[in-house]
Structure 1
């Protein structure tokens, strides 16, 4: 990884993504989506397909899942059907996700150690995710991660989501830090594009979702295989 990430004298704060960066939530997504689809009398979607849909917020995830199951039998009408079903799908998805939130997910190895090391270096932490805040905060609490963060912002906290830079700029504003001294830690091109546009340095984990593509092809300042690698042992 690039040496920029080891010099924490450069940083006042870090903004950390949630899904695919701190917690492997693919099981939660797949379970909630398939319960939703079952309620709508639609076929299920495989976790491997869900993985490529994750990262752009729940609205995108639900619409993508609907298209995925509708298109094979009605490619010309799938878009219209997905739009017609969306409101009912969102209501069922929200119901099911809140019921199973965290039950089919796990904290990635090295996350707790990495967050502890960052805090020990005096780096202030905020969690910024495209996941709705009503899903994000209970998940962080269930996994014992909420105590690390001064601020938690979900995808519904601001007018636009990552990869738009607005959420990062607003998070820096809330922290009272400048983007150049605020490190973005994520798992996908969404995080990197938002960071670049906001003026934040960015490090990506190698194990996340990134829409089914290799993260190492993304423009970032460095890559790690574990958050524990962010801060070297003393």
Structure 2
């Protein structure tokens, strides 16, 4: 993993929390060492470590540069529901690396709520962004139902076996991708989503939901120049 750290800017210095301090200790940095860090909002900082404590560290900012912009409105949104934490975690990690602007984690009839894992999801987003040297972190929202449909703008596609064959044009421009849980949508949910988006299918094979999610995110990333 590239040694990029996350910190909050406070005037002329950055404050790095316990999670980042553990990273500092793992790679055996010490006071006086130069580090690179981001605020997750698109700025890259060059800093000098001046304090390493048990639960936090501080670094003096020597230089800062705006290297990535956060879109005023999300261009590419992935909406996911899942029964299993392991699969959800994997999707979050890979979709951040592939450049999604916003992640919406929602609850359907056949999935569970993940509001209790808000902090864990944020750490996964942070570490994944640092891994690929991404300096503007994606927004993460949690919903207990399908009311997230009200905030989506642009082309919305629903990945479902009943949909028409997918075309490359489905993944160009502003796109919202909706992926259902392992046990599929209920018929009522599928009907509602068909009224709010375009159901599409990847063809003859029935893919696991996480496979379909990453395939679609990868297409969006490639066709829109995000990787």
TM over 0.5: no
The structure in which a higher percent of residues are strand is 2
Q: TM-score, normalised by structure 1?
A: 0.33
Going by fraction, where is helix more abundant, 1 or 2?
1
TM-score (norm 2): 0.34
Which of structures 1 and 2 has the bigger CA Rg?
2
